Each structure stands twice: as structure tokens, then as C-alpha cells.
Amino acid sequence: MAQTLPKYVLFTLFIFSTLLVAQSHQFSRKLSTKSLGFKKEKVSHFHFYFHDTVSGDHPSAVRVVDTTLTNTPETFFGGITVIDDPLTVGPEPNSKIVGRAQGIYAAASLSEISFLMTLNYVFVEGKYNGSTLSILGSNPVFSKVREMPIVGGSGLFRFARGYALAKTHSVDTTSGNAVVEYNVYVLHY
Ligand SMILES: *[C@@H]1O[C@H](CO)[C@@H](O)[C@H](O)[C@H]1NC(C)=O
């Protein structure tokens, strides 16, 4: 078939198809991480305390959803809490703030107190100011150490992944306020 077409017809078709490709909008293309300014991937360790204040004059966690199941049995199942909890260098309430945990935790187990954690650590400290890490994990609060995946990040944490280890530091059983120690390991550029 091609052999029967004159050369100038083939040439015209070739030019035409090139123009069509050039004019179409480009949906995807391959890039190197270098071309986006990323250097070597590294691992960083962060250590801080998470202050979950559910009652008192200045709560940073508010229960926004209660269900008929929320208090029966005592797993709070279905309860949803929105938080803006300070993250500090030390466990004391007036310790230096390095960021905040902003997001939601939802009681997601029928058999124990375990939360689905969906939140961002929004950092304010030094070069990390404005960078965030996104957490999506399961938090059975009576386990000694809970591991939650870091599923992404922004700013200095673009392409981040890793894990957070949570260990309860103290709980006030009357107020429900808790301080949790976090060790976070992150792969990022
Ligand atoms: C973090 O950045 C914001 C906005 O750029 C700035 O207003 C703030 O002072 C910075 N905080 C710290 C602790 O450096």
C-alpha cells in the first residue's frame, strides 16, 4: 500500500501527524528526580510529644461525632474527633512547640479503643517550618507501641514515606487528656 503512494503524499502525512502531536496537550512525561531539584534520598528521625487535650479551658481536640454505639461498649466506636494538637520537644505542656498535629481520629474498632488516625504534622521549627507529613494509621491506644505509616509529605518532605512509633507518656484518667511520645522515621530527599 505504502509503495503505491507517491513520496510527496507520505511526506505531507508525516508533517501533518507531527503537527498534531505537537499541538495536543501533554498529559504525562518522564522526568528525573534531579530535574526537579531533588538530591540524595535520606532518612531523618524526629522525636516529639503530642498533647491531646480533650477537656479543660483550652481543648485542642473536639469530639464532632457521637453515635448510639459510641459509649457501648466502651470503645467509643463511631466517635470522631478533630484535633489541632501541639507537638513539643519535651513532655511538659509549656515545652517548645515544633509543630501541630492537625486532622481527625475516629474510633474504628468494636472490640478495643483503637483509632483510625488521619492527620498531618504541620511543622513550624527551623527549616521544617511549613513542611508537613501525612499520617494514615491504626492506633490501638492500650498497646505499648503503636506503629503508623507516614504516607507522604509536602515542602522538605515531598515524596516522604516512613513510620511513626507512638508510646503513651501520660494520661489523666479524669480529664482524658493525654501526652504521647512519638519517634518518627522518614525517608525523604
Ligand atoms: C514560620 O513561617 C511563617 C510564615 O512564613 C512565619 O510567619 C513564622 O514566623 C515562622 N515560624 C517560625 C517558628 O519560624
* Per-residue pLDDT reduced to its tens digit, 34-47: 899 898 999 999 99
The response to whether residue 17 sits with its C-beta less than 6 Å from ligand 1 reads no
Average pLDDT over the chain reads 91
Q: Can you say how many angstroms the Cα of residue 40 is from the centroid of all Cα atoms in its chain?
A: 22
β 132-140/114-123 pair status: antiparallel
* Stretch 163-169: mean pLDDT: 98
Angle (CA) 39-49-92 rounded to 5° is: 135
Q: Quick check: 14 pLDDT over 70?
A: no
Please tell me the distance from the alpha carbon of residue 71 to that of residue 118, in angstroms, as a whole number. 22
The response to whether residue 93 sits with its C-beta less than 6 Å from ligand 1 reads no
Helical spans, DSSP H, in 63-175: none
Note the pLDDT of residue 19: 57
| Residue 56, C-alpha cell as written in the block | 479543660
Q: How far is the CA of 99 from the centre of ligand 1 (A)?
A: 11
The least confident of 15-29, 91-105, 152-166 is 15-29
Q: What is the pTM of this model?
A: 0.84
Q: How far is the CA of 123 from the centre of ligand 1 (A)?
A: 10
Please tell me the distance from the alpha carbon of residue 38 to that of residue 92, in angstroms, as a whole number. 37
Q: How far is the CA of 127 from the centre of ligand 1 (A)?
A: 10
pLDDT band at residue 70 under the 50/70/90 scheme: low
The response to whether residue 124 sits with its C-beta less than 6 Å from ligand 1 reads yes
The response to whether residue 129 sits with its C-beta less than 6 Å from ligand 1 reads yes
The response to whether residue 130 sits with its C-beta less than 6 Å from ligand 1 reads yes
Q: How far is the CA of 100 from the centre of ligand 1 (A)?
A: 13
Note the pLDDT of residue 94: 96
| Residue 145, C-alpha cell as written in the block | 507501641
Q: Which residue, by CA, sits nearest to atom 12 of ligand 1?
A: 124
Note the pLDDT of residue 11: 65
User: Which domains are delineated in the chain?
Assistant: 41-188 (2.40.480.10)
Q: How far is the CA of 129 from the centre of ligand 1 (A)?
A: 6
| Residue 44, C-alpha cell as written in the block | 531523618
Q: Which residue, by CA, sits nearest to atom 11 of ligand 1?
A: 124
